[in-house]
A and B are shown apart, each in its own frame.
Chain A
Amino acid sequence: MLQVVSAPLDFLRIFAGQLRQAGIRFAITSGMACVHYGLQQNTKDSDWIIPADDLEKLRELLARLEGELPPWRVSYRQIFGAPLTAEFMAHASHLSIWDSAASVEHKVDIFSKPPRVKAEEIQVDTEGWATRHVVAQMKRTDRDKDWPIVQGLGQQLHERNRDECLLHLTNSEELLAAWQSATRSARERMTSRRPLLRCLETTPPPDKLGVERLLAIERLVWERVNEHRHKRYTRTWKDFYRRWRKESGWDWPTAEQFWLQHRRTLSATR
């Protein structure tokens, strides 16, 4: 029988369909969402926001798919981040999925608490994509390549007349133009979220160079915040992983089924 190999974009739809059928809430975010919004080309892995309450159903779904024909293979990645259970999902869990014997490896990252996004602000559209506002918040990292994407998403929001553009524009001229055309209530709401906007209220408004300096400082703050968050996470992970590797007969990732791997990760963390 001819095996169909799922390309990354097909897998995205297949996995989304499986989640929908199983009644698991999800939002596709980060790189693939940026592809969807026309802002990125160079990613194959996929990032999914799945509420902690739905993780049990997700584990059940993965176990079921491993038992179907053709069977999927699901595995934690070597650097797996966190066991796929609410207790540990302050960051992300990193899986690999093969949806047929001939499949390429699909790297799947699951977030229950997406960084920098308040739980009440997680919005997903009816097609399953995290909104631009959510993706832009997740992209405020300390990676240079992410900042043009934040600006791009902000610009798209501006062209769609959405007030949230004031939170994400990082180009001084564009930000000033959006600010000038915003209503008083939008200015007030957005200023409470982005302190930099307070400086645009002054009379006369700051010049372009002044705004650029403020934007540079703001980005530096976000980079340091992310670096700090990142360091805590990496340090914890590395400490855990070094201890775990010392266990007798340690082998990871194992070739066993996902639920057995999951049990192994839980016992390793306790």
Chain B
Amino acid sequence: MKIVPAEPEVEYSEEYYEMLARTMGEERAAWARLPREEREKELRWYHDNFNTPDDLAIWPPELDGGVNNP
């Protein structure tokens, strides 16, 4: 396992966020635009108030899911 330096935050282009909106939806793109601390704050709220798919899954993703078993 090779250790490499942590990369600094960079400001991504507008095209990057537009692509996220097209492929993942407006809500996720809006979340991605937030500064890291804000993203984390929103995520904590989400974790506190909602079950996520992995909360509800009995099978770990490596043994579940996929095209034939969504």
Contacts and interface: CB of A to CB of B under 8 A. Distances in A.
Interface of A: 7-9, 25, 27, 31, 35, 38-45, 49, 51, 77-79, 81, 91-92, 94, 107, 109, 115, 122-127, 129, 131, 141-144, 148, 151-152, 155-156, 159-160, 171, 174, 223, 226-227, 230, 233-234, 237
Interface string B4-44: 11110010110010011001100010011000100110111
Contacts of A44: 47, 52, 54-55
B48 A51 contact: no
Contact of B5 (A92, A125, A227): A125
Given A41-B31, A125-B7, A9 B63 contact: no
A7 B43 CA distance: 10
Given A79-B58, A148-B24, A141 B66 contact: yes
Given A35-B43, A92-B60, A144-B70, 8 more contacts: A42-B46, A43-B52, A44-B47, A44-B55, A124-B2, A125-B6, A142-B66, A151-B19
Contacts of A78: 58
Contact of B23 (A127, A151, A234): A151
Interface in B51-68: 52-55, 58-63, 65-68
Contacts of A123: 1-4
A9 B6 contact: no
A126 B55 CA distance: 29
Contacts, number: 129
Nearest to B2: A123
A78 B63 CA distance: 12
B66 to A, nearest CB: 4
B67 A233 contact: no
A261 to B, nearest CB: 17
Residue of A45, A127, A171 with most partner-chain B CB within 10 A: A45
A155 to B, nearest CB: 5
Contact of B66 (A27, A127, A151, A230): A230
A148 B1 CA distance: 27
Contacts of B40: 9
B48 A7 contact: yes
B10 to A, nearest CB: 6
Contacts of B12: 155-156, 159
A30 to B, nearest CB: 8
Given A7-B48, A43-B54, A127 B63 contact: no
B30 to A, nearest CB: 11
Contact of B46 (A31, A38, A41): A41
Nearest to B44: A7
A45 B54 contact: yes
B52 A42 contact: yes
